Amino acid sequence: MADVEGELMRMRRPAMVAIAGVIALTGAGCGLSVNEDGVSYSDEDGSGVKVDQDGVSAENSDGGVSVGEDGVDVEVGDTVNITSTGETTVDDCAGRMVNVASSDATVVLNGACGAVNVSGSGTTVHLAAADSVTLAGSDLTVYHSGEKPNVVDIGSGNEITSGGDATG
């Protein structure tokens, strides 16, 4: 495992330097930061790219993508897509629809969600609130801290109950 992490770090450093060089050449009116924490670039409207110890993230006015140890989190407009295996992911719903496709993971969704669709197996989802929840998989557990949402369960061994760790 240490060899893999070392190789990733050796690969990441030249990539960060190359990204910084390209970004530096791209234009005026933009923000560029290069320091021991990583490289980040943003333009006037807040769109940008960041590479640091947590992974890679990019966003613009339409949404964003982050890739790190916790899996993949993609935000596009009013939809959040979370894909993870065996990790914990925390996100803020902010009224958006959420799609979770995970196995043996924990997902915490703070704030009020629109529709929440959960697929996979062995995943636990903590909701503060949601309009509806669709479960398509097996051994999925959903906790809700607010009112019980409308539930459609087309899987097996799934459970939805009050409680959990989500706030908001």
Quote the pLDDT of residue 41: 55
Quote the pLDDT of residue 116: 93
97 pLDDT exceeds 80? yes
- Specify whether the CB–CB gap between 159 and 144 falls below 8 A: no
Higher confidence at residue 77 or residue 162? 162
Quote the pLDDT of residue 142: 97
Quote the pLDDT of residue 131: 93
Quote the pLDDT of residue 23: 43
> Which stretches of the chain are assigned E, i.e. beta strand?
31-35, 38-42, 48-52, 55-60, 63-68, 71-76, 79-85, 88-92, 97-103, 106-121, 124-138, 141-144, 150-153, 159-162
Mean of per-residue pLDDT scores for the chain: 74
4 pLDDT exceeds 60? no
pLDDT range class, residue 129, cuts 50, 70, 90: very high
CA 93 to each of CA 3, 30, 46: distance values in angstroms, whole numbers, following the listed order: 37, 29, 20
Quote the pLDDT of residue 33: 56
